Amino acid sequence: MAEALSPTELFWVEGMANDRTDPVTVWRASRAGGTPTMMASFPYVTSLDSVPFSKALAIGTAQVLALVPGVSRSGATIVGGLVSGLERTTAAEFSFFLAMPTMVAAFVHDFIDVRSHLTATRGGEIAIGFVAAFVAALLVVKPFLRFVGRVGFGPFAWYRISAGAALGLAIFAGWL
């Protein structure tokens, strides 16, 4: 099990949303994120149609954790769903649906920033990226949901804890 985080580490937020490459922040987020993923295993909502608004709001709010470097948006929403009582595949499916408005908002935000520099070639590259992402989603989502239903999120949690431990070792050894 990952060692406990100090209150200073838990509430350490200064600058972390702006510095997405700080290895110490990613290390802390990896340590902090793996354990709740393993512990959240008390499902009772098994269908997207039966997710109450209060749980949907709580799960959506969990996305804020993705502002911390080292915390994925999908991981934060899936763990938020598990903690809110969603069954594993329902939490993963909810995360996929919740990604749609989030990704559209992120695209619009970035588009506004670069619109004056956008050329026809770059527009074509963006279109190819959209098509590739759509095809990849068609190929991956259903097998991923089956895997999660059978195995759960334990492998992902152990990956996060192991990656956090390796990153911590690299930081303290002076390699990063």
Report if pTM > 0.85. no
User: CB burial class (10 A; 0-12, 13-18, 19+) of residue 22?
Assistant: middle
Tokens, residue 162: 């192991």
The 10s digit of each residue's pLDDT in 16-69 is 545 566 787 777 777 676 666 665 555 567 788 888 898 888 888 888 888 888
For residue 174, what pLDDT is reported?
A: 92
Residue 7 lies in a domain: no
Residue 142 lies in a domain: yes
Residue 37 lies in a domain: yes
Residue 1 lies in a domain: no
Residue 54 lies in a domain: yes
Domain count, the chain: 1
Residue 2 lies in a domain: no
Residue range(s) defining the domain that contains residue 93: 23-172
Residue 16 lies in a domain: no
The 10s digit of each residue's pLDDT in 120-152 is 888 899 889 989 999 998 999 999 999 998 998
Cα gap 137→147, rounded to integer Å: 15
Residue 86 three-state SS: strand
